[in-house]
Amino acid sequence: MQDTWHTIINLSALEPNDVTQVIYNNQTLAVYDTTDGVFVSDARCTHAGANLCDGYFDGRNIECPLHQGLFDARTGNAKAAPATRSLKMYACRVHDGEVQIKLPHL
Ligand code: FES
């Protein structure tokens, strides 16, 4: 099955330098606006499932609101306990003012 790009939000609707929650196709996504560009992950913390969109974002790292696990928003890598497993990241691009992620053709 071929992957295709799917628009999940307009770039202008993102919180500048912050994390924005987007629900797309029954998936809760965290969209990070960073100085290195836009990145998208699954919003569920890999430790115990808290919604990272409610966490603190410093422009580079997202801190889980429940136990303060820390993830690099650009790579999804876990950086501080109790988080140990990486976030699921989505291939992402900005195209014609829209944030798009790559998903299997629906
Ligand atoms: S649920 Fe995120 S660190 Fe525990």
Q: Which residue has the tokens 């560009």?
A: 37
Tell me if the pTM is above 0.85. Answer: yes
pLDDT tens readout for residues 41-80: 999 999 999 999 999 999 999 999 999 999 999 999 999 9
Residues near 39 by Cβ (< 8 Å), separated by ≥ 6? 31, 32, 73, 74, 89, 92
Residues β-bridged to residue 37: 34
50 C-alpha to center of ligand 1: Å? 6
CA atoms of 36 and 100, how far apart (whole Å): 16
Note the pLDDT of residue 99: 98
Note the pLDDT of residue 66: 98
Residue to mutate, 41, 45, 84, ligand 1, most ligand atoms under 8 Å from C-beta: 45
- The ligand 1 site (C-beta within 6 Å) comprises 45, 47-48, 50, 64, 66-67, 69, 82-83
**Residue 106: pLDDT above 80?**
no
* Structural domains in the chain plus CATH codes: 3-104 (2.102.10.10)
Residues near 4 by Cβ (< 8 Å), separated by ≥ 6? 102, 103, 104, 105, 106
65 C-alpha to center of ligand 1: Å? 7
